[in-house]
Chain A
Amino acid sequence: MAEPIVLLENLSYQYPGASAPALRDVNLRVERGEFVGIVGPTGAGKTTLCLALNGTVPQFYGGRFFGRALVAGLDTLEHPIHDLARHVGMVFQDPEAQLLTTSVENEVAFALENLCVPPEAIRARVARALAAVRLQGLEKKRPHELSGGQKQRLAIAAALALEPDLLVLDEPTTQLDPVGQEEVFATVARLNREQGVTVVMASHAVEYLAEHATRLVILDQGQVLQVGPPRDVLAQVEQLEALGLRVPQVTRFYHLMQARGERLPTLPVTQDEALAQYRGLRGRWRIRSDGAAVAASPPREGPPLIEVEDLRHVYPDGTEALRGVSLRVWPGEYVVIVGQNGAGKSTLAKHVVHLLEPTSGTVRVGGEDVRGLSTAALAQRVGFISQNPDNQIFTTRVEEEVAFALRARRVPEAEVQRRVAWALEEMGLAPYRDRHPLSLPKGDRARLVVAAVLAMGPDILIFDEPTTGQDPQGARRILDLSRRLQEQGKTVLVITHHLYLMPPYAERAVVMARGAILLDAPLRQAFHAVDVLRQSDLQPPQIVLFARALAAWEGVDLPILTEEELAARVEVTGEMEHGGV
């Protein structure tokens, strides 16, 4: 048998100062040409495992390391990281943090220069690497001017230029929009398929992994729970969901049917498989054509709470980020704003809190033009929760964090105490009131920021990309929270490109692209407006696409949003049709 690219034997590792090991007794063998996906909840050890593959763990971090890690036949304890770099190309999560130079070609050349490759050879390898990720022609461009997806492809090219035996990617798409994600997966899958590059990738994007990976590793609390082909691993729907992980929506739909007593030989994990399996049932399942018609918009009474009229915004560099946007939001609504990066979603939201000045047009909150109000004054009515909680934490104690702004605004101390206690209780953070905010896990830090905002007593809450960088469970927790706040009478706006998460929460969707609103409709209608979504480089959730394919096949109307809704529309007739399909 050929020598494996990766051989981990009883690998355990504990970061210095950590109370528990990050990896426990990991055994893994990766063969040449494989595409191994690593899946697990936040804190499962995915990043640590990736970092162990080029020696960063333990060489950079120190800590306690047991067992053995061989990569391309080299013991990662015996070879310095910059030597192992010849064999292992690394791509990290944050596209910004891995840019080291000021031109695309220098970025790719950097590692080669460090390895003393002669300039002529560098030129050839840079050209090859850029062609492999389809960035040729951009050699002289500044990396900072590239889109998120392009930046990650550049990072892949920088790794590929080393002609490594192994390409390791640690959640390379979590900070990208759907187009960026698509670009990165397409690139990696092609490199694996056509050039035989061995890939290890940690990711939450199960739909893509199901499509491209040859094997999946399920990691939890530092332990490998399962290793196998996607079809076998993802079929363990209950086990994965218990870990807070997702399975592809089509898999989940078939699993629901299985739970209804349907006997299925296998659970499909990709959309193609799912369709093939449906066709193979030859009419045993029938789609009921009744049920959820497109719901009419709820009646809106009284004056709108947020009123945006013909808003234009041009940034100082001349970019026209908003081109005449009009939007009205009524009290108690839950609105999701979707669109690709640069569509103008955040720019729009920032006008509502007067962080940006309209170039023309007006924004009114509660009937009052925001132009006459400061951001700080608006903060009493509009809570704006931006993406990175760590930029929004200013103190060293949880309780103080919530009280911070109130005290600065000279709210009477008794009132401060009352509001802090209430906000912490609401967010489930009361037990941690004396902790250091940064000692809390990321999801709790995000909730702490929400608590601090809630203490101001706003009746509008705007969440800007709350689910980016969260694992599925973390994302759902934040969204559950947003729904609870809506139920308490708050008006909620969520900006996101994670469409699949939104059906249980939002009622209304605003689709934006290139500074304009393309569609403002009930969620059900918007998620089935495939062409409109495509104009904003978005794709409806997999289950919507699957339902549309079924609807076309059966000639029925099937405006479902979730796996449950689809399963409810399927009737089992008990007999197979014979003859032509």
Chain B
Amino acid sequence: MVGFDPFGPGARDTFFRHLDFRSKVAILGVATFLAFLWDSPVTTGALAAVVVLLCLLAGLRKEYLLRMGLIMLPFFALVLLTHGFLNTYVGRTALWTAPADWPLVGGWLWLTREGLLYGLMVIFRTITLVLVIPLVVFTTELDELVVGLVRLRVPYKVAFVLASTLRFVPLLLGEVQSIMEAQRLRGLETSRMGLLQRARIYSRIAVPLILGALVRSQQIEVVLASRAFSGSAERTYLHTTRLRTADYLVLGATLAVAVAAVVGLALWGVGRFHGPL
């Protein structure tokens, strides 16, 4: 599992791991709600900053953040340019206009200030949504996730399947890695191949991967049955979750923030694109 868990082993004892799953779901809910409620670059920017900060406090590895950033960079650039040039609904303060003698675009293609800001807001919103899910999922032990979901009235079978799927991901990634290693050991040098040939070689990974996954899932089914698992919701739990002071604080705070955001928006337009902030 080395290299998969974006939170290092050191993250195990941060405050975030000790929060009840329900508190984390509340954070997830409010962050998502605010991300869609607001469309001001200032407020969404602040929200994204808070989420990034929470991630770092929860022990998210900086390399993981950087890697995510690098992967998202082209997307961000595209968003910024599209909105900057083409979004003329939010405002038309031109920062730059294509010279009139340019073919096709000359004279009417503008880069607008509002468009750029709107693009920035979309980027902040994306950052919030992209980071808040791993923040909740990877800081929760899968066992707690199951118990937490059941507490939230998700059927046990669904919760168990979800947790098992999450458990499967690193195993499959490990498998993919070892299969690709095996391909290199056979003398296949994908870095020197054309796109088409490379795609053909990669598609071969599917053969051992799918068969391996089938074998493994069958093994797990046999193991489950032998451990008296029937999928029945009627079962007991060694650890049930309990809300502690910190959880009540988090729940209270998230609720307060949500209410304040709605009131602020309704009364003073805080968080609106052309609002006071």
Contact = CB atoms under 8 A, between A and B. Distances in A.
Interface of A: 51, 54, 56, 60, 80-83, 85-86, 88-90, 92, 94, 96-98, 100-103, 105-106, 109-119, 122-123, 126, 144, 158-159, 162, 315-317, 353, 355, 374-377, 379-380, 383-384, 386, 388, 390-396, 404-405, 408-409, 438, 452-453, 456
A92 B223 CA distance: 8
Contacts of B228: 82-83, 85-86, 111, 114-115, 162
A51 B222 contact: yes
Contact of B219 (A86, A92, A375, A456): A92
Closest 8 CB pairs of A and B: A376-B189, A379-B187, A85-B228, A394-B204, A405-B186, A90-B226, A111-B227, A109-B238
Given A60-B221, A452-B186, A101 B142 contact: yes
B126 interface: no
A456 B208 contact: no
B212 A113 contact: no
A225 B228 CA distance: 33
Given A114-B230, A393-B207, A456 B212 contact: no
Contacts of B222: 51, 56, 60, 92
A394 B143 contact: no
- Name the residue in A85, A100, A390, A404 with the highest tally of chain B Cβ atoms < 10 Å from its Cβ: A100
Contacts of A409: 187-189
Contacts of B141: 102-103
A106 B230 CA distance: 17
13 contacts: A56-B225, A82-B228, A83-B228, A85-B225, A116-B236, A118-B236, A374-B184, A379-B186, A392-B186, A394-B208, A408-B201, A409-B188, A453-B186
Interface residues of B, number: 52
Contacts of A89: 226
Given A97-B220, A438-B211, A355 B238 contact: no
Given A82-B229, A82-B230, A392 B187 contact: no
A388 B179 CA distance: 10
A112 B227 CA distance: 8
Interface of B: 1-3, 9, 141-143, 167, 171, 175, 178-179, 181-189, 191, 193, 197, 201, 204-205, 207-208, 211-212, 216, 219-230, 232, 234-240
A388 to B, nearest CB: 8
B14 to A, nearest CB: 16
A188 B234 CA distance: 32
A292 B201 CA distance: 53
Contacts of A317: 2, 9
B225 A404 contact: no
B212 A117 contact: no
Contact of A394 (B207, B220, B227): B207
A567 B205 CA distance: 51
Contacts of A80: 230
A555 B167 CA distance: 58
Given A394-B207, A456-B187, A126 B238 contact: yes
Contacts of B178: 386, 388, 391
A253 to B, nearest CB: 39
B142 A54 contact: no
Given A103-B141, A113-B236, 17 more contacts: A56-B225, A80-B230, A81-B226, A82-B228, A90-B223, A97-B219, A106-B239, A111-B228, A118-B236, A374-B184, A374-B191, A377-B187, A379-B185, A379-B187, A390-B208, A391-B212, A452-B186
A102 B143 contact: yes
Contacts of B208: 390-394
Given A355-B185, A376-B188, A395 B204 contact: yes
B184 A379 contact: yes
A76 to B, nearest CB: 12
Contacts of B232: 114
B219 A117 contact: no
A390 B211 contact: yes
B240 A119 contact: yes
A81 B225 contact: yes
Contact of B238 (A56, A106, A394, A404): A106
Contacts of A51: 222
- Kindly name the residue among B3, B232, B234, B235 whose own CB sees the greatest number of chain A CB atoms within 10 A: B235
A98 B223 contact: yes
Contacts of A390: 208, 211-212
Contacts of B219: 92, 94, 97-98
Given A106-B239, A126-B238, A391-B179, A396 B207 contact: yes
B211 to A, nearest CB: 7
B225 A119 contact: no
Given A106-B238, A380-B187, A386-B185, A114 B225 contact: no
Interface centre among B184, B220, B230 (most CB of A within 10 A): B184
Contact of A100 (B1, B182, B227, B234): B227
Contacts of B197: 408
